[in-house]
Amino acid sequence: MKTLKCSLLIGLLILMTASQALAANFNQPSLSAEALLGNLAQAKKTNRIIGGITLTALGIGTGALVSTIDSDDYNNKDDAETVKTVGYICAGIITGGGIITLALPSEAENHYRDVKMIDDTGARENAAYGSLVFLAEKAKTERMMSGTVSAGMAFYYLFAADPVYYYDGTPSDYNTYCGLVFAAGAVSSLFIQSVEEKVLEQYERGYAVDEGQNRPQLRMGWLPNGSLSAVYSYQF
């Protein structure tokens, strides 16, 4: 009889271990750092392609517009040639920026590519989480720096800049408008999280929820008749 009880207890412990592993695998897609990193990389790639195509088209359009400039629109031919030269240079810079944006993958894409090259599942998940932390911290640092600079510029335009007047001597609201624009940028940068930070927060919040909800419990004790009692519960 004791042998049977021990066998049942061992079987129960094995069942508990197996169910934990099964539950972990079942919940892995919602908590997978690798999946979240892949989603982030895909979003960055989409934004990169859209931005690159937009810049390239804008550069080509600028070049086409500059090519229509005629010397009759200016006082002399030299002025027209100067404007066209500057316009072509600007068009080339914009087009080049668009091509570079299309050609070079984002940092999130590079991290995801490196993670996918890891064969071991556990090591790949740990590397993906490390990438999420790195990208989030870098994005937060850049966000804080941008917010600080914008706040400084807002303070300058609102309180320290020299007044601006129109040609007729009427006061201009140029400084006020610039200050408000920079102030809005500062508030946005300082208080709105980046996409990278939100992705990391989503992973950590989901991990904490799953850790709290899917915790197995094994209760063991002796019954009044001297027999052993074991109760295993798991909340899905």
Tens digits of residue pLDDT in 42-78: 999 999 999 999 999 999 999 999 888 876 655 567 7
- Sign of the four-CA dihedral 99, 100, 101, 106: positive
Which pLDDT tens digit goes with each residue over 73-121?
Answer: 555 677 778 888 999 999 999 999 999 999 999 999 999 999 999 999 9
Q: Rounded mean pLDDT of 188-211?
A: 85
Determine the Cα–Cα distance for residues 184 and 209; give it in Å rounded to an integer. Answer: 35
Paired tokens of 42: 């895909």
Collapsing DSSP to helix, strand or coil, 117 comes out as coil
Determine the Cα–Cα distance for residues 54 and 47; give it in Å rounded to an integer. Answer: 10
Determine the Cα–Cα distance for residues 236 and 227; give it in Å rounded to an integer. Answer: 30
Residue with token string 């740990």: 126
Paired tokens of 131: 């990438």
Q: Rounded mean pLDDT of 177-190?
A: 95
Paired tokens of 175: 């400084």
Kindly state the percentage of the chain with pLDDT values over 90: 58
Determine the Cα–Cα distance for residues 188 and 186; give it in Å rounded to an integer. Answer: 5
The domain segmentation of the chain, as residue ranges, is: 1-16+216-236, 44-106, 140-213
